[in-house]
Amino acid sequence: MLGLLKKKMRVNTLVAVCPDREGVAVAQIRRDHNVPPLLELCHYQALDTTQQAKAGLQKLVKSAQLDRSLCISLVELDDYSLVMVEAPEVQPEEMVAAVRWRIKDLIDFDVNDAVIDVFAVPDTKAGVNKTMVYAVIGRATEVRQRIEKLLVAGLQLEVVDIPELALRNIAALLPEDVAGVAMIYIGQDKGLITITRQQTLYLSRRFANGVNALPNTLMQNDDQDDIENWLDGIIVEIQRSLDYYDSHFSLPPVSSLIITPLSRELPGVARYMSEQLDIPARMLDVATLIDTEQELNSQLQSQCILAIGAALRSESPTP
């Protein structure tokens, strides 16, 4: 609290600062009553080494006055697991401790070194008596290192969240979310599929087919066969996710597929996915969902899409 008294804090704003192995993505969202969210800042800064990353982050925080807003960050996909487990029959305040012992055989490190959080899984098909929860499991040392890096940079860190919920926050703004929507995030090295409906996360699945898995020859020409061969592996994971959703939840099938912006222009991605999955698909343009004070090209959106989603979190308190 002392830190909040030393400077005039921005109200109704949340800044997401999300370092990765190549740089840091920043998105600052302002929320006011009865108007769309406003993206006040969207920026990606490449950083080369650990030392440069530390100094660069501190400089960025100071120059953009990011320390005047409450901050949220995300753990990277490689740094945690998300597993669905049967909820122990305990009081809500005892849930995390009970789940800790339930998942100890599902991780490859000592459960005492794990940081764990849980959130509810929506009810499954009628007649199934089991209540399920999602358990988020990370190594405590890695989570602490991320927190320390952000605090040392001067940020007012409020929450460390996960990419699945960042995508959920974006999906909640889509008209397709009313009937159920699958979102596809394709990063440089891996990607993520989420299925949400009416602002609730039902399912997530990761895949290893990132943009870097594209053939080197594609750098010289956009060969449609190479693009489609690359997409086939992703489509298999999407189909498995859709099948699981249909078989485990008493809900109509997902109505549409939304693909977040890619780090390079690839022709025919949405069309090919739609044809193979027999479901409407389109590329996302964040500028159609929220107001923005700067131009958002596809490259910047691809770099900052998870940060934008994190900054759209609405549960965070306002100072």
Structural domains for the chain: 77-141 (3.30.420.380), 174-288 (3.30.420.40)
Residues 6+ apart with CB under 8 A from 228: 268, 272
Task: Phi first, then psi: give them for residue 279, nearest 5 degrees.
Answer: -150, 140
Among 19, 57, 16, residue whose Cα is nearest residue 39: 16
CA distance 124 to 230: 33
Q: Per-residue pLDDT for the chain (319 aa), expressed as one digit of tens each? A: 344 445 678 889 999 999 988 899 999 999 988 888 999 999 999 887 666 677 888 999 999 999 999 999 999 998 999 999 988 999 989 999 999 988 988 888 888 899 999 998 887 775 566 788 999 999 999 999 999 999 999 999 999 999 999 999 999 999 999 999 999 999 999 999 999 999 999 999 999 989 988 877 665 566 888 889 999 999 999 999 999 999 989 899 998 999 999 998 888 999 999 999 999 999 999 999 999 989 999 999 999 999 999 999 986 433 3
Q: What local confidence, expressed as pLDDT, does residue 5 receive?
A: 44
Are β-strands 70-74 and 23-30 bridged in parallel, bridged antiparallel, or unpaired?
A: unpaired
Q: What local confidence, expressed as pLDDT, does residue 225 receive?
A: 86
CA distance 314 to 144: 24
Task: Phi first, then psi: give them for residue 37, nearest 5 degrees.
Answer: -55, 145
CA angle 75, 314, 81 (to 5 degrees): 25
Q: What local confidence, expressed as pLDDT, does residue 47 receive?
A: 81
The structure tokens listed for 171 are 């999906």
The structure tokens listed for 150 are 């952000």
CA distance 275 to 74: 33
| Chain segment 175-231, per-residue pLDDT in tens | 999 999 999 999 999 999 999 999 999 999 999 989 988 877 665 566 888 889 999
Question: SS3 of 310, please?
Answer: helix
Residues 6+ apart with CB under 8 A from 213: 230, 233
- The Cα-based distances of 67 to 15, 25, 40 in angstroms read 9, 15, 15
Q: What local confidence, expressed as pLDDT, does residue 221 receive?
A: 62
Contact indicator for 195, 254 with CB cutoff of 8 Å: yes
Rg (CA), the chain: 20
Q: What local confidence, expressed as pLDDT, does residue 220 receive?
A: 58
Q: What local confidence, expressed as pLDDT, does residue 2 receive?
A: 40
Are β-strands 181-186 and 114-120 bridged in parallel, bridged antiparallel, or unpaired?
A: unpaired
Contact indicator for 62, 154 with CB cutoff of 8 Å: yes
CA distance 195 to 174: 13
- Report the DSSP beta bridge partners of residue 204: 194
Q: What local confidence, expressed as pLDDT, does residue 155 receive?
A: 96
The structure tokens listed for 164 are 């699945």
CA distance 80 to 89: 25
Beta-strand runs (E) in the chain:
13-19, 23-30, 38-46, 70-74, 80-86, 114-120, 132-139, 156-161, 181-186, 191-197, 200-207, 256-259, 281-283, 291-292
Helices and strands (H, E) in the chain, number of each type: 8, 14
In one-letter notation, the amino acid at residue 315 is: E
Q: What local confidence, expressed as pLDDT, does residue 52 receive?
A: 65
Among 261, 252, 80, residue whose Cα is nearest residue 176: 252
